[in-house]
Amino acid sequence: MEDIRDITYERLEEYLVSLGEKKFRAKQIWTWLWQKGAGSFEEMSNLSKPLRERLERGFTFHRAEIEQELRSKDTTLKYAIRLHDGKEVEGVLIPSKDRVTACVSSQVGCPLGCAFCATGTMGFIRNLHYSEIVDEYVLMNRKAIAAYGHEISNIVFMGMGEPLLNFDNVMTAIDKLTDPEGWGLSPTRITLSTAGIIKGIKALADRNFPCGLAISLHSADPIVRETLMPVTQGNSLHDLQAALRYYHQKTGDRITLEYLLLSFVNDSVAAAEQLARFCRPFPVKINIIEYNETPDGKFHKSYPNHREAFIEYLNSCNMVVRVRASKGQDIAAACGQLVKKQGDHRE
């Protein structure tokens, strides 16, 4: 059976007409699906009972659910979200003074296998459907209102998975979230983070992507980056640099680079020099991220004096640098850690 949220508006209209219903019913159902975030036909209170029952017989409703909530001392909330087939992804809510940021997943697992990332060690399980990405928002938005008294103001695709390897679903989810007739979120409050899939970055540039784009660079040294991020093999730093220049030319946007400081791996002043050289062709904003240590103990966060020297060098080149403290460390809020932990328990 087909999922009701997998069909087009036109097909829904045709289906309803074939049942002898008026066309405007499609609009009502659409509003329930893509504006109110209904989780069942039963909730669609302005439809007749027989129609709701008919819809139930005609379609499935692949609704995600919150399986587990973890609360951090720093008020970060982390969720394990269970999908209709029992697979799990994670979402995180990060409150700050004037915003609530939701971190959403785009895939179950991830095929890119970065050495420092808990999700990477899970391998790739499957892509999320766009309706599942929207569910992450809907479910966590309710939690945000309950916990902080505020709706989600910002969304970052920094949970599990590589969004540019699930391109169509991620783009459709963003369309649904920003549709003025749906949730109407501003695209400027959505950020997509990628490990550097060149084809995807060019495709975003060509469609004049209205949201923010962040690149997880983590090293500007080809050999170090390849060990940390195997994606570098088919997406070389040289080609990535050219793609980012292209993106900047097309959109006029400053390029945001994420840089995770790993002790004695990528945190020397020489590494900062390489980073500055990589950034020469376009204006950048560097987000320095503190490593959220994973239980395997393979990597460690940088010593404060090394971190300071690294940042100092970038500042001396007049680069825009922002340091992001890692949130929710006590609840394993870094990418993939929660679901991985649950998986470990079950084995």
Q: For binding to ligand SF4 (CB under 6 A), which residues are involved?
A: 110, 112-114, 117, 119-120, 160-162, 195, 216, 335
| Minimum distance of ligand SF4 from residue 156's CB (angstroms) | 12
Which CB sits closer to ligand SAH, 134 or 261?
261
**Count residues contacting ligand SAH (CB under 6 A)?**
17
By CB under 6 A, the residues from 196 to 255 that bind ligand SAH are: 216
Cβ atoms within 10 Å, residue 321: 20
291 binds ligand SAH (CB under 6 A): yes
Contacted entry of ligand SAH, ligand SF4, none for residue 33, CB cut-off 5 to 8 Å set by kind: none
- Site for ligand SAH (CB under 6 A): which residue of 121, 194, 241, 274? 194
Amino acid symbol at 241? Q
158 contributes a contact to ligand SAH by CB under 6 A? yes
**C-beta closer to ligand SF4: residue 112 or 321:** 112
Question: Does residue 334 belong to the site contacting ligand SAH (CB under 6 A)?
Answer: yes
Contacted entry of ligand SAH, ligand SF4, none for residue 109, CB cut-off 5 to 8 Å set by kind: none
| Minimum CB distance to ligand SF4 smaller for 112 or for 331 | 112
Residue that has been written with the tokens 């040289």 in this structure: 238
To the nearest 10 degrees (0 to 180), the angle between helices 198-206 and 237-251 is: 10
Nearest C-alpha neighbor of 14 from the set 5, 3, 25: 25
Q: Segment near ligand SAH (CB under 6 A), from 59-67, 129-137, 141-149, 193-201?
A: 193-201
Question: Closest separation between CB of residue 113 and ligand SF4, Å?
Answer: 6
Q: Does 292 bind ligand SAH (CB under 6 A)?
A: yes
The residue assigned the tokens 């998975």 is 161
Query: Which tokens in the block code for residue 60?
Result: 């499935």
d(CA 327, CA 83): 25
The gap from C-alpha 93 to its chain's centroid, in whole angstroms, comes to 12
Pick the stretch among 122-130, 135-143, 285-293, 310-318 that binds ligand SAH (CB under 6 A). 285-293
Give Dmax (Cα) for the chain. 72
Which one of 11-19, 52-60, 171-179, 289-297 is the stretch in contact with ligand SAH (CB under 6 A)? Answer: 289-297
124: phi then psi, degrees, rounded to nearest 5: -95, 130
- Does 276 help bind ligand SAH (rule: CB under 6 A)? no
Is residue 289 at the binding interface for ligand SAH, with CB under 6 A as the rule?
yes
Minimum distance, C-beta of residue 177 to ligand SF4, in the bound complex (Å): 20
Q: What are the Cα distances from residue 262, in Å, to 46, 224, 244?
A: 55, 11, 24
Helix (H) or strand (E) holding 141: helix 130-148
Q: Which option in ligand SAH, ligand SF4, none does residue 289 bind, with CB closer than 5 to 8 A by kind?
A: ligand SAH
Stretch that binds ligand SAH, among 59-67, 177-185, 191-199, 234-242 (CB under 6 A): 191-199
* Contact by Cβ (8 Å): 336, 122: yes
CB 98 within 8 A of CB 111: no
Strand order in the sheet with 212-216: 65-71, 77-82, 88-95, 100-103, 154-157, 190-194, 212-216, 255-261, 284-290, 320-324
Nearest to 108 by CA among 141, 72, 80: 80
117 is a contact residue toward ligand SAH (CB under 6 A): yes
Q: What residues act catalytically?
A: 90, 335
Give the span between the Cα atoms of 160 and 334, in whole angstroms.
Answer: 9
Q: Is 258 in the site for ligand SAH (CB under 6 A)?
A: yes
Report the alpha-carbon distance of residue 235 to residue 122 in Å, rounded.
Answer: 22
When asked if residue 326 is in the footprint of ligand SAH (CB under 6 A), the reply is: yes
Distance from the first to the final alpha carbon of the chain: 32
Binding site for ligand SAH (CB under 6 A): 116-117, 158, 162, 193-195, 216, 258, 260, 289, 291-292, 294, 326, 334-335
